[in-house]
């Protein structure tokens, strides 16, 4: 714990939580210390929120406009009250696990090209079998077979060079059962298409010469079913009222300063609105921050992260809010690998551990009986740079979200972006979707949104800071026990908003 700065410090009032009579006082000097006075017990807790290299707060962040402005909304616009109850009784559990989970010790990136090929081949065969069964296709023909009649082929989309995919560079690579050959694809006969490298597709068309496949029909992928809880689990769930879920994604500092002002503002909002659940995505210590890149910090990255997390856990204790921490590959102190193991916070007390969930990236989380798909990797940005489309009539974000759901993967792009270190052995186990999540959260550098895509509510809450200015965070009201109306599933998401910090 750092000492409280002396009398030369500048003191600023941050806010008051009327519900629990908490007072926040921020001292700015070489460190930040938040003093929380609990009116009921008249006790004090000291909370460090570090200011590392520079004590000068970001002027642009401090003078930002539009604080609290709702910039995107979904569902019930009128009526919902954006306050929770801080219900620690909300049940949270991971839908992945087992002996080979990412929590256990393992060596990563020890993979051979043959292993990568086997993973990709298995993916082609699994999705191909689902498509064959759904569309009643008799069999798949070899993609390079010279034939004058129309045939149906299965394969993975790839590019004929190291450049970006375009309509003239599309190849279809068949699985091992169909010969494993690559053949150029002519898309001119397709009225509409949306393709990206790594996409498993079924196409109908002709290949008279065996050298070029002329596609005339493209079959849509099929999403997995939604989660269906057992009767016993529904009875176990104690929470029946709507649950408020807040989400935010780092960085939690402005780009020109390592002052955690945005994080302090977020903690203030959490204590004021008392969400039942808060999902926090990394980076918490951003490897792309200028002062970290230039090695201008005066302590270890691990220590910075520890104090950052301590700040969040201690600062939200009075709200009773459940916390979920999801790492990012931009977290400079953590493993740069995908899938990414969860943080290790061995210093948490027993009480704090009970309300903190440490999740890997990606993961599927069960909150009540509602499934949340979470990933901090910017798949929107990566796929948006590679996807090509024509005549679809839908906007890009919806297409990318639909691809994730129908390809049943949190990262369906292959080859991955250069910054993503993919471990395909673990990716096969932990990077695939075992069901269609009710809510899919995909923070990105691209513009925030919240929308329904084939029954799944997809949210990009944006980042808490955008350069030197404030960014956005998201909040949802969900019904923890989804209901059926006339035998049809009703989305558990009552309302959602993206809000400026």
- In the chain, residues under CATH classification 2.40.50.430 are 112-226+380-419
pLDDT at 333: 95
DSSP 393-416: -S-HHHHHHHHHHHHTBS---SSP
pLDDT band, very low/low/confident/very high, at 232 (cuts 50, 70, 90): low
pLDDT at 56: 64
Could you tell me if 327 and 334 are in contact, meaning their C-beta atoms sit under 8 angstroms apart? yes
pLDDT at 17 over 50: no
pTM for this model (two decimals):
0.88
pLDDT at 191 over 60: yes
The pLDDT tens digits of the residues spanning 24-69 come to: 333 333 344 444 433 333 333 334 444 444 446 677 888 888 899 9
For 44, list phi and psi in degrees, rounded to 5.
Answer: -125, 145
Percent share of the chain, pLDDT over 90? 62
The pLDDT tens digits of the residues spanning 294-353 come to: 988 888 999 999 999 999 999 999 898 999 999 999 999 999 999 999 999 988 888 899
Domain spanning 112-226+380-419: CATH 2.40.50.430:
yes
What is the four-CA torsion angle of 254, 256, 258, 259, rounded to 10 degrees?
-60
- Residue found under tokens 């921020």: 26
For the structural domain made of 61-95+242-377+421-500, what CATH number should be given?
A: 3.60.21.60
pLDDT at 45: 38
95-99, 399-403, 460-464: least confidently modelled range? 95-99
- In the chain, residues under CATH classification 3.60.21.60 are 61-95+242-377+421-500
Which residues are CB-contacts of 388 (< 8 A; sequence separation ≥ 6)?
165, 166, 167, 170, 193, 194, 195, 196
pLDDT at 31: 43
pLDDT at 97: 60
pLDDT band, very low/low/confident/very high, at 387 (cuts 50, 70, 90): very high
């Amino acid at each position: 714990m750092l000492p409280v700065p002396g009398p030369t410090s500048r003191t600023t009032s941050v806010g008051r939580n009327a519900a629990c009579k908490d007072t926040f006082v921020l001292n700015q000097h070489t460190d930040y210390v938040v003093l929380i006075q609990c009116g009921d017990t008249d006790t004090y807790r000291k909370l460090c929120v570090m200011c590392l290299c520079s004590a000068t707060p970001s002027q642009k962040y401090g003078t930002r406009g539009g604080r609290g402005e709702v910039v995107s909304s979904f569902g019930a616009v009128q009526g919902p009250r954006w306050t929770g109850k801080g219900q620690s009784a909300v049940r949270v559990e991971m839908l992945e696990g087992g002996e080979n989970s990412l929590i256990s010790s393992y060596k990563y990136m020890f993979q051979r090209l043959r292993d990568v090929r086997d993973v990709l081949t298995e993916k082609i065969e699994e999705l191909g079998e689902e498509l064959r069964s759904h569309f009643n296709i008799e069999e798949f023909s070899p993609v390079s077979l010279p034939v004058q009649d129309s045939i149906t082929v299965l394969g993975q989309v790839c590019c004929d060079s190291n450049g970006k995919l375009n309509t003239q560079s599309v190849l279809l690579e068949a699985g091992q059962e169909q010969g494993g050959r690559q053949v150029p694809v002519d898309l001119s006969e397709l009225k509409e298409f949306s393709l990206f490298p790594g996409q498993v597709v079924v196409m109908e068309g002709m290949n008279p010469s065996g050298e070029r496949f002329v596609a005339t029909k493209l079959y849509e992928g099929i999403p997995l079913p939604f989660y269906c809880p057992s009767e016993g689990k529904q009875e176990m769930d104690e929470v029946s009222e709507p649950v408020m879920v807040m989400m935010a994604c780092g960085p939690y500092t402005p780009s020109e300063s390592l002052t955690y002002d945005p994080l302090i503002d977020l903690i203030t909002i959490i204590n004021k609105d008392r969400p039942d659940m808060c999902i926090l995505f990394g980076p918490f210590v951003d490897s792309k921050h200028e002062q970290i890149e230039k090695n201008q910090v005066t302590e270890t990255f691990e220590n910075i992260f520890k104090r950052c997390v301590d700040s969040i856990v201690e600062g939200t204790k009075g709200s009773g809010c459940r916390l979920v921490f999801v790492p990012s590959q931009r977290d400079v102190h953590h493993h740069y690998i995908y899938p990414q193991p969860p943080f290790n916070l061995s210093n948490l007390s027993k009480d704090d551990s009970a309300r903190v969930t440490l999740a890997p990236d990606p993961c599927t989380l069960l909150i009540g009986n509602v499934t949340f798909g979470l990933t901090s990797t910017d798949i929107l940005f990566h796929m948006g740079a590679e996807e090509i489309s024509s005549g679809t009539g839908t906007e890009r974000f919806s297409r990318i979200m639909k691809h994730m759901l129908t390809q049943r993967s949190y990262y369906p792009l292959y080859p991955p972006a250069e910054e993503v270190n993919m471990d395909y052995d673990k990716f096969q186990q932990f990077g695939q979707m075992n069901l269609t999540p009710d809510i899919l959260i995909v923070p990105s550098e691209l513009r925030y949104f919240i929308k329904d895509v084939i029954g799944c509510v997809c949210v990009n809450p944006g980042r808490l800071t955008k350069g030197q200015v404030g960014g956005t965070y998201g909040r949802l009201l969900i019904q923890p026990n989804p209901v059926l109306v006339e035998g049809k599933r009703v989305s558990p998401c009552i309302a959602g908003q993206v809000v400026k910090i």
